[in-house]
Amino acid sequence: MKLPLTAVLALVAAPAFAQDAPTGDAAAGEKVFNKCQTCHVIANEAGEVLAGKGSKTGPNLYGLPGRIAGTYPDFKYGESLVKLGEMGFAWNEEDFVKYVADPTKFLQEKEGDKKARGKMMFKLPKEEEARNVWAYIASLSPAPAPADAAAAPASN
């Protein structure tokens, strides 16, 4: 049986797209996000608050999927999170779930430095809740740039 090229490409690409799709429930994540909005907001490029109460204790979570850690403009991150970003670390669901469960432990493991510390003191240890929050954040964010495009230098 001969398949059209578009069908073959769709079959080959499907697993890659499936891996990027959030595994949580965005509607359930909206409810859990109430715990996060004390410190975080999700506001788009135009400044429209999509979720949260406009708090700026933590960085804006709009566009978090695929964002390099410690790079949201005009936010003063802790040294360890900035270092992680300088290592090229970009947020994905698996790492987000581990990070919110225990931010300091996550940074220590990722950086291999027992002195690494984060500013975020709040923990969201229930994996299902963390996955749901990720799905909610992702539902309000633009699609992340492909990894190779994000790493490529900008052209004039």
Mean pLDDT over residues 65-69, rounded? 97
The DSSP output letter for 2 is P
For 97-124, letters b (16+ CB in 10 Å) and e give bbbbbbbbebbbebbeeeebebbbeeeb
Let me know if residue 5 belongs to a domain.
no
Let me know if residue 59 belongs to a domain.
yes
CATH number at residue 128: 1.10.760.10
Residue 115 and residue 145: Cα distance in Å, rounded?
32
Instruction: Render pLDDT for 3-26 as a digit per residue (tens, 0 to 9).
Output: 343 333 333 333 333 346 889 999
Let me know if residue 97 belongs to a domain.
yes
Contact 91, 65 (CB under 8 A): yes
Instruction: Render pLDDT for 111-144 as a digit per residue (tens, 0 to 9).
Output: 999 999 999 999 999 999 999 999 999 999 998 7
Contact 55, 33 (CB under 8 A): no
Let me know if residue 7 belongs to a domain.
no
Let me know if residue 68 belongs to a domain.
yes
Instruction: Render pLDDT for 76-117 as a digit per residue (tens, 0 to 9).
Output: 999 999 999 999 999 999 999 999 999 999 999 999 999 999
Residue 74 Rama label (left phi>0; alpha psi -120 to 50; beta): left
Closest CA to 100 of 148, 35, 10: 35
Let me know if residue 14 belongs to a domain.
no
Would you say residue 154 has pLDDT above 70? Answer: no
The DSSP output letter for 102 is -
Number of domains making up the chain: 1
- Residue 98's contacts (CB-CB under 8 Å, 6 or more residues apart) are 106
Strand partners, 90: 68
